[in-house]
A and B are shown apart, each in its own frame.
Chain A
Amino acid sequence: MRKSNKWATVLVLLILCSLFFPRLSFGYIDPGTGSYVIQLLIAAFVAISFGIKIFWKKIKIFLLKVFHKNKPAA
């Protein structure tokens, strides 16, 4: 029971998430209802962090290009 209490917050989020639950795809493997729900939850968080990651990556590439252009030829 203690373990369940520890996960209470996660569970509440899962239940909230289930309200937006998608129609199951009829693929040949069972994606699992619980797996779909947790994936939606993760997806909501990672979309932002992934967006930021890509944004920084582009800035880094841009700066590297600028730095490389300004670098005098050896």
Chain B
Amino acid sequence: MRTDFTDLPSSFRDPSGFLFFKNQVLYRQVNKAYQKNYEHLMASGLYQSLTEANLLIPHEECDLPPAYPETAYKILKPEPILFVSYPYEWCFSQLKDAALTTLKIQKIAIEYQMSLKDASAYNIQFYKGKPVLIDTLSFEIIENWKPWVAYRQFCQHFLGPLLLMSYKDYRLNQLLRLFIDGIPLDLTSKLLPRSTRFRPGIITHIHAHALSQKYFSSKTVQVKEKRISRNSLLGLIDSLESNLKKLTIHSKRSEWANYYQETNYSPQGFEHKKQILKEFLNRLNPSGVWDLGANTGIFSRLASEREIPTLSFDIDPVAVEINYQECVSKNENYILPLVLDLTNPSPGVGWENKERMSLVERGPTDVVFALALLHHLAISNNLPFEKIASFLRKICQSLVIEFVPKSDSQVQRLLVTREDIFSDYTQPFFEKEFSGYFTIQEVVPIKDSERVLYLMQASHESN
């Protein structure tokens, strides 16, 4: 292998090819073993059909000498995904849209005599605001009409988690963080309420499916070739699709209408805060922004309106859901809402803890917004200012942070039920601790409020 190539740690399962970096550009090697399938994908019109419908990531073939010439057939350069997100960071509708996209792709592929050989949620990424398949090598030619090889994976990665989110609790996709190949169906079956045992779609795809897996797990079956009809395969996809489309997260929509509209600002203060942020953005002219604690993304949109990739993180899946619904309804291309608990951010998981990257590994970004966040970290989670500054320094070049004083009603609310042990929670101490990691460039008090916005630049040397 050539030493100037770096294989992607997550790209080792499929013998059809793999991803690698060269000079920080991502490439995909197509192996000779996949040649016939790749040629069919490109020549049949399937690739064109899927890329025109924004369902598959586009790529171009390139002349780069391969890292492994003995196995290489072609080298592809796919359109880069600027931020790779994972299903345990998505809200309900993001996972549902990713699932429906997978089925839509499978239906189109069948028209072209091909089928998805895997249905991993990790193969779907949000590209320009829409879910797309990023694994160009996921298709195989249908030689005989056989059962769908990726059916189990689809149920574990998509249907099971979505049923749990819909029927039990919308936070249950967090289980995907524990189970890298999707939530085991026996666990999904156990966790789902009894009422689901009267729903034919759930009985067959989950409960009976789990039972069947258990029954055959210890059996050695002598098997012979058995085909299914094209209509059977299409019917299976149709059944999965209609079951998925019915799913919602149970919550009174009316309650959501004013979600997070309550702020601690007067209309004048709120507008002033927006104005300051716009001025900071004009001055920084960033190439990307991470908004930490974004709620429904009001301030994230000041960045995404500049047509720069903007990640809008929040701990609350309902806030992320509302944010995503807005992205879909307004057809927004530059903002990606994601669920993130900053006190326990996504770790590196999978083989060698490298298959799925941690949050920090996916950074840094140009600018971080930490608006009305500091008091949650410092008071609700007892995090010293120094630790907060140290973490933020790792993930950005410029920091826009809001200091919320102890006298603020939101901070007082956090202190109602606990002893105030935060004698260091003062503006001078905040400035002192952050100065160890950042250079304070601007300090702007927000009108009609006690809060203060800071613009800071990462120091080259930190404590």
Residue contacts A-B, CB under 8 angstroms, 27 given: A7-B208, A10-B208, A10-B211, A11-B211, A14-B212, A15-B215, A21-B223, A22-B146, A22-B147, A23-B223, A27-B118, A29-B117, A31-B152, A33-B213, A34-B212, A35-B155, A39-B148, A39-B151, A39-B236, A40-B228, A41-B204, A42-B236, A43-B229, A43-B235, A47-B229, A49-B235, A51-B235
Number of residue pairs spanning A and B whose beta carbons lie under 8 angstroms apart: 131
Q: Point out which of B147, B150, B219, B228 has the most chain A C-beta atoms below 10 A from its C-beta.
A: B147
Question: Complex: how many Å from CA A17 to CA B234?
Answer: 20
Question: Does A21 contact B221, Cβ atoms closer than 8 Å?
Answer: yes
Q: Which B115-141 residues have C-beta < 8 A from chain A?
A: 117-118, 140
Question: Does B219 contact A33, Cβ atoms closer than 8 Å?
Answer: yes
Given A22-B224, A38-B204, the answer on whether A28 and B216 have CB atoms closer than 8 Å is: no
**Is chain B's interface secondary structure helix, strand, loop, or mixed overall?**
helix
Query: Which residues of A are at the interface with B, using a C-beta cutoff of 8 A?
Result: 7, 10-11, 14-15, 18, 20-25, 27-44, 46-47, 49-51, 53-54
Question: Complex: how many Å from CA A10 to CA B149?
Answer: 22
- Check if B97 is an interface residue, CB within 8 A of chain A: no
Q: Which residue of B lies closest to A50 (CB)?
A: B235
Q: Which residue of A lies closest to B231 (CB)?
A: A47
Q: Which residue of B lies closest to A18 (CB)?
A: B221
A20 / chain B contacts, CB cutoff of 8 Å: 226
Question: Does B117 contact A37, Cβ atoms closer than 8 Å?
Answer: no
Question: Does B212 contact A50, Cβ atoms closer than 8 Å?
Answer: no
Given A14-B211, A31-B152, the answer on whether A50 and B147 have CB atoms closer than 8 Å is: no
Q: Which 10 A-B residue pairings sit nearest by Cβ, starting from the closest?
A: A46-B235, A50-B235, A34-B213, A22-B226, A35-B152, A43-B232, A34-B212, A34-B216, A47-B232, A33-B216
**Is chain A's interface secondary structure helix, strand, loop, or mixed overall?**
helix
Question: Complex: how many Å from CA A27 to CA B225?
Answer: 15
Other-chain residue from A24, A25, A32, A42 in contact with B152 (beta carbon distance below 8 A): A32
Least CB distance from B228 to A in Å reads 5
Question: Does A21 contact B149, Cβ atoms closer than 8 Å?
Answer: no
A44 / chain B contacts, CB cutoff of 8 Å: 232
A28 / chain B contacts, CB cutoff of 8 Å: 13-16, 117-118
Least CB distance from A44 to B in Å reads 7
- Check if B272 is an interface residue, CB within 8 A of chain A: no
Question: Does A42 contact B211, Cβ atoms closer than 8 Å?
Answer: no
Question: Does B149 contact A43, Cβ atoms closer than 8 Å?
Answer: no
Question: Does B214 contact A34, Cβ atoms closer than 8 Å?
Answer: yes
- Check if B227 is an interface residue, CB within 8 A of chain A: yes
Question: Does B225 contact A38, Cβ atoms closer than 8 Å?
Answer: no
A31 / chain B contacts, CB cutoff of 8 Å: 147, 149-152
Question: Does A18 contact B211, Cβ atoms closer than 8 Å?
Answer: no
Question: Does A34 contact B118, Cβ atoms closer than 8 Å?
Answer: no
Question: Complex: how many Å from CA A47 to CA B147?
Answer: 12
B205 / chain A contacts, CB cutoff of 8 Å: 42
Give a binary string over B132-176; 1 marks a CB under 8 Å from any A CB, 0 the rest: 000000001000001111111101000000000000000000000
Question: Does A47 contact B150, Cβ atoms closer than 8 Å?
Answer: no
Q: Which residue of A lies closest to B226 (CB)?
A: A22
- Check if B386 is an interface residue, CB within 8 A of chain A: no
Question: Complex: how many Å from CA A29 to CA B155?
Answer: 14
Q: Point out which of B207, B209, B212, B233 has the most chain A C-beta atoms below 10 A from its C-beta.
A: B212
Question: Does A29 contact B224, Cβ atoms closer than 8 Å?
Answer: no
Given A22-B227, A29-B13, the answer on whether A43 and B215 have CB atoms closer than 8 Å is: no
Least CB distance from B460 to A in Å reads 46
